């Protein structure tokens, strides 16, 4: 996902008032010598560097055990004498979307979560068996970090969730109700489950006889699929418009209404694809609830045209979202 580019997309989520990279996990571990970014496509390949029983192996095993596992994952290790502040800047120029760590130390989690929030284009999944630590993380209001609470952190439940849900088409799923292989559901009461959710974590429980993830929200209270969709749309528009610039038959995208229409058409193409994938909502007639508004050449300034900078494009769409709960009212008569 790291790239040199000429296109920047800014997108905000407006709330009502009352691609390989997008499924690829990166596991951060620690060792005396450290290790640069390395990709693996199977446990067998990975085991040569990380034998069974190592933390990196356990995390990777949880990912690769899932039915919808990604084609590959990556691992990096920081040196034991290297701080996360020095290590993390090297991470975000690599090809991945989901960030995981072998550490359950709350200070390590906060450092990685903070860097992920600053970067703003990836998601970080952590695990914890301490509700106090979960609440400490929640207090940071991190929209790009998800904490998976589980009493058995050795099973890497957050890695299993990324392995199962992360490679499914963006917009096609919600992260609540996912079934994970190799993860034992917690036996908790409704009161205990509420406490976990109130602390800002998700977990794995039995519902109607099925083991499922209990919620699909980040520590900061946003839905995971919405963050995934936002990042996907931003990246896709940047990528496709950059490709438009690159493939202009060695000519140029003219600074006129024809050139502007080419850019707008590319943006609309991404939005239409996002509609088909389930990111964008439809109206009652099946039309996508999205729009674009691009200034004409005549509406731009002479200064913009002189600098060859076009900043007059805007788009808007309504998220399709998902139904997580339902109340159904019935009436019994004699």
Q: Using N-to-C axis directions, what is the helix angle for 157-165 and 55-64, rounded to 10°?
A: 40
* Separation CA 116–CA 124 (nearest Å): 7
Q: Show pLDDT as tens, one digit a residue, over the chain (334 residues).
A: 555 666 676 655 444 433 446 889 999 999 999 999 999 999 999 999 999 999 999 999 999 999 999 999 999 999 999 999 999 999 998 999 999 999 999 999 999 999 999 999 999 999 999 999 999 999 999 999 999 999 999 999 999 999 999 999 888 899 999 999 999 999 999 999 999 999 999 999 999 999 999 999 999 999 999 999 989 998 899 889 988 988 866 678 899 999 999 999 999 999 999 999 888 989 999 999 999 999 999 999 999 999 999 999 999 988 887 766 666 777 787 8
Instruction: Centre a 10 Å sphere on the Cβ of residue 309 and count the other Cβ atoms it contains.
Output: 13
Provide the residue ranges of all domains of the chain, joining segments of one domain with +: 20-222, 248-317
Residue 308 dihedral angles phi and psi, to the nearest 5°: 60, 35
Q: Which of helix, strand or coil describes residue 67?
A: coil
* C-alpha distances in Å from residue 237, one per residue of 104, 147, 231: 35, 29, 10
H or E element at residue 224: helix 224-246
Residue tagged 């790009």 (tokens):
144
For residue 153, the 8-state DSSP code is G
Q: Which residue, 219, 176, 179, is CA-closest to 197? A: 219
* Separation CA 25–CA 102 (nearest Å): 13
* Separation CA 305–CA 210 (nearest Å): 60
- What's the pTM? 0.86
* Separation CA 60–CA 301 (nearest Å): 53
Cβ partners under 8 Å of residue 3, min gap 6: 239, 242
Residues in the chain: 334
Angle 249-271-169 from CA coordinates, rounded to 5°: 105
Q: C-alpha 105: how far from its chain's center?
A: 22
Dihedral angle sign, alpha carbons of residues 146, 29, 164, 189: negative
Q: Which residue, 159, 137, 164, is CA-closest to 218? A: 137
* Separation CA 229–CA 235 (nearest Å): 10
Strands (E), 119-234: 123-128, 145-149, 201-202, 204-207, 210-213
């Amino acid at each position: 996902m790291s790239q040199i580019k000429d296109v920047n997309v800014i997108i905000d989520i407006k709330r009502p008032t009352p691609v390989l990279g997008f499924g690829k996990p990166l596991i951060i571990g620690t060792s005396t010598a450290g290790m640069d970014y390395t990709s693996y496509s199977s446990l067998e390949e990975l085991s040569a560097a990380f034998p069974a029983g190592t933390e990196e192996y356990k995390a990777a095993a949880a990912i690769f055990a899932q039915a919808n596992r990604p084609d590959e994952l990556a691992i990096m290790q920081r040196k034991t004498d290297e701080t996360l502040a020095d290590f993390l800047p090297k991470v975000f120029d690599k090809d991945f979307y989901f960030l995981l760590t072998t550490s359950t130390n709350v200070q390590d989690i906060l450092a990685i979560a903070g860097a992920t929030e600053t970067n703003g284009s990836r998601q970080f999944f952590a695990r914890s068996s301490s509700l106090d630590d979960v609440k400490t993380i929640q207090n940071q209001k991190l929209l790009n970090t998800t904490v998976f609470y589980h009493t058995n952190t050795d099973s890497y439940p957050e890695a299993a969730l990324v392995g199962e849900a992360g490679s499914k088409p963006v917009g096609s799923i919600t992260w609540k109700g996912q079934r994970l292989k190799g993860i034992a559901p917690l036996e908790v009461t409704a009161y205990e489950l509420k406490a976990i959710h109130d602390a800002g974590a998700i977990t794995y429980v039995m519902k109607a006889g099925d083991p499922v993830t209990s919620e699909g929200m980040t520590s900061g209270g946003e839905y995971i699929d919405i963050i995934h969709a936002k990042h996907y749309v931003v990246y896709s528009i940047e990528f496709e418009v950059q490709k438009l610039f690159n493939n202009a038959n060695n000519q140029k995208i003219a600074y006129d209404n024809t050139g502007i229409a080419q850019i707008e058409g590319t943006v609309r193409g991404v939005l239409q694809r996002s509609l088909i994938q389930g990111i964008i909502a439809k109206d009652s007639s099946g039309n996508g609830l999205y729009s674009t508004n691009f200034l004409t050449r005549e509406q731009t300034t002479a200064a913009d045209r002189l600098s060859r900078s076009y900043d007059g494009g805007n788009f808007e769409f309504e998220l399709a979202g998902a139904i997580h709960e339902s109340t159904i009212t019935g009436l019994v008569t004699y």
